[in-house]
Amino acid sequence: MTAELLLALGKSFLFAFAAILPILNPAATAPIFLGLTEGASRGTRALLARRIARNMFALMAGSMLVGSYVLDFFGISLPIVRVGGGLIVASAAWRLLNTNHATEDRRTALAEAFTPEHARRQAFYPLTFPISCGPGSIAAAITVGVALHDQRLAISVARMGGGILALLAIGVLLYLAFRYAERLLKPLGEAGSVIFLRLSAFILLCLGVQIVWDGVSELLRGVMASPA
C-alpha cells in the first residue's frame, strides 16, 4: 500500500509539474516583471519575488483543491473566467507596450516612488494575478485538481500531495526567475532589454487576446449546441 501511495504521489507530481509549468512559464514572464517594477531597488524586487511566488502557490493550490467547487457555488463557468482574465492580461500588456522608456531623471523619480509599501500593494495585483498567474493557469490548476481526484481517499490525498509539491517546485523556479531577472537579461544590454521587453509585452497581449477568444469560442459553441 505504501509503494502504491508513493507511486501515485510521484506520478501526480510529474503530471502537475508538466501541465502547469509551461503555462506559467516564469522565464517568459521575468521581462514583464522587470518592466512593471521599473525604478524598484534590488531589495524591493527580491521582496516582490518572494511575495509573488508565495501568492502564486496559494492561488494555484486553492484552485487545484477547491477551485471547481467555488465556481460551481457562484455559478461561474470556466469560459467566463477566461474572458474576464484575458481582458485584464491584454489591458496590462497594452499599457506596458505603450510605456515610454525611462530617462535617467525618470528612473530616479521611479526609484523614489517605488517604495516597499508600494511593492506590497502591487504584489498580488497585477504582478501575481494576472501577469504571473493568469486565468489560463487557474483553469489548468482546476483541471489538474479534477484529474487527480480518486474515489479512494488515500490515493486521492497522495495525488493531491504530489500536485502541491509540484506547485511548490514551480514557486521556487518563479522566485529564482524574478529574483535574478535583471542579472539574466544584463547580457542583452540596455537596448536589447528594451526590445526584449517590448516583444514580451506584445506576446503577452496576444496571449490575453487568445485567452479571451478561447472563452468566447467556448461560450458560442455552448449557445449553438443548445436546443432552440
Q: pLDDT tens across 199-224, in order?
A: 777 877 887 788 788 888 888 888 88
Q: Is the peptide bond before 31 cis (omega within 30 degrees of 0)?
A: no
Count of structural domains within the chain: 1
Highest mean predicted confidence (pLDDT) among 14-18, 70-74, 94-98: 14-18
Q: pLDDT tens across 156-173, in order?
A: 899 999 999 999 999 999
Domain membership of residue 103 (yes or no) is: yes
How large is the average pLDDT for residues 33-52?
85
- Alpha carbon separation from 149 to 18, 29, 64, 170, 222 (Å, rounded): 17, 30, 10, 21, 26
* Residue with the larger pLDDT of the pair 28 and 109: 28
Averaged confidence pLDDT in the chain: 80
pLDDT for 109 equals 44
Amino acid at 198: R
For the chain, what percent of residues have pLDDT higher than 70? 84
Neighbours of 217 (CB within 10 A): 12
Domain membership of residue 177 (yes or no) is: yes
Q: pLDDT tens across 115-128, in order?
A: 666 667 778 887 88
How large is the average pLDDT for residues 10-25?
86
Closest to 131 (Cα-Cα) out of 86, 183, 197: 86
How far is 156 from 152, CA to CA, in rounded Å?
6
How far is 27 from 132, CA to CA, in rounded Å?
10
Neighbours of 140 (CB within 10 A): 20
Cell representation of residue 17: 509539474
How far is 131 from 15, CA to CA, in rounded Å?
23
Confidence of residue 40 (pLDDT cuts 50, 70, 90): confident
Domain membership of residue 54 (yes or no) is: yes
Domain membership of residue 149 (yes or no) is: yes
How far is 66 from 183, CA to CA, in rounded Å?
37
Which alpha helices (DSSP H) does the chain contain, by range?
2-24, 26-36, 42-74, 78-97, 104-113, 116-124, 135-148, 153-179, 181-185, 189-225
How far is 167 from 21, CA to CA, in rounded Å?
9
**Residue 61 sits in which domain range?**
2-223
Domain membership of residue 228 (yes or no) is: no
pLDDT for 162 equals 95
For the chain, what percent of residues have pLDDT higher than 90? 21
Confidence of residue 107 (pLDDT cuts 50, 70, 90): very low
* Residue with the larger pLDDT of the pair 57 and 219: 57
* Residue with the larger pLDDT of the pair 147 and 13: 13
Neighbours of 44 (CB within 10 A): 19
pLDDT for 199 equals 78
Q: What is the pTM of this model?
A: 0.72
Confidence of residue 177 (pLDDT cuts 50, 70, 90): very high
